[in-house]
Amino acid sequence: MCQWQGCAEPAPHRAPMGRGREGQYFQFCVAHVQQYNKTYNYFDGMSDSEVEAYQKSAATGHRPTWTVGANSMAHGRETDPHHHRFSEGPGRPRRPGDPFGLFNDGETKPGAKRPDNPALGNMARKSLRALNLDDHASKLEIKTRFKQLVKRHHPDANGGDRSSEDRLREIIVAYNYLKQAGLC
């Protein structure tokens, strides 16, 4: 039976569990092995432990299997200077206007916007905006921002919130576009 959470289809396909779990496999149905592999490829070439956690949790439909407090401690979030614990999560007040810039992880500040770069195509511009960057972001800035955003919008960091998963997908699609366009 398919190991995807809530799925009871026959599972003729196996998928490697990933780094550190070599030789171990999930059994999935056709649809879910595809979904799993798609997620796997999203993070091509990255070795971030967050990414690995994402791949593993994909198999359980990103349902949290821990208590939130224990998870934050286990991930050492208290000491991560780029992580603010009051990010967009369930049960937390949504930032209305963030007048104090408390949620700004060094992202483009209003008023500090540089003029558009006419050499960029629409898709590149849209992708940069999805990463909260302007047209002049360097390759390093794009990579750094991508990693920040993946961490912040990772469903694990948001109690399995589905909306953070959608945002994460948007971030990944944008990054992949910039990568294949040679911009990062």
- Please identify, using beta-carbon distances, which residue of 6 and 93 lies nearer to Zn ion: 6
Alpha helices in 7-161 (DSSP H): 30-42, 49-58, 68-74, 122-130, 139-153
Per-residue contact flags (x/-) with Zn ion for residues 1 to 30, judged by CB under 5 A? -x-x--x-x-------------------x-
- DSSP class of 77: G
Tell me how far the alpha carbon of residue 71 is from its chain's centroid: 17
CA gap 175, 51 in Å, rounded: 14
Report, in Å, the least distance between residue 7 CB and Zn ion.
Answer: 3
- Count of Cβ atoms closer than 10 Å to residue 84 Cβ: 13
Q: How many residues bind Zn ion (CB under 5 A)?
A: 6
Query: CA of 74: how far to CAs of 41, 87, 101, 161, in Å?
Result: 26, 18, 27, 19
Position among 32, 145, 151, 152 found at the interface with Zn ion (CB under 5 A): 32
- Please identify, using beta-carbon distances, which residue of 32 and 154 lies nearer to Zn ion: 32
State which of positions 70-99 bind Zn ion (CB under 5 A).
none
CA gap 96, 14 in Å, rounded: 45
Q: Give the tokens for residue 166.
A: 């959608």
- Please identify, using beta-carbon distances, which residue of 8 and 119 lies nearer to Zn ion: 8
- Please identify, using beta-carbon distances, which residue of 32 and 153 lies nearer to Zn ion: 32
Per-residue contact flags (x/-) with Zn ion for residues 120 to 159, judged by CB under 5 A? ----------------------------------------
- Please identify, using beta-carbon distances, which residue of 7 and 53 lies nearer to Zn ion: 7
16 exposure class (CB count in 10 Å sphere: 0-12, 13-18, 19+): middle
Report, in Å, the least distance between residue 9 CB and Zn ion.
Answer: 5
| Residues at the interface with Zn ion (CB under 5 A) | 2, 4, 7, 9, 29, 32
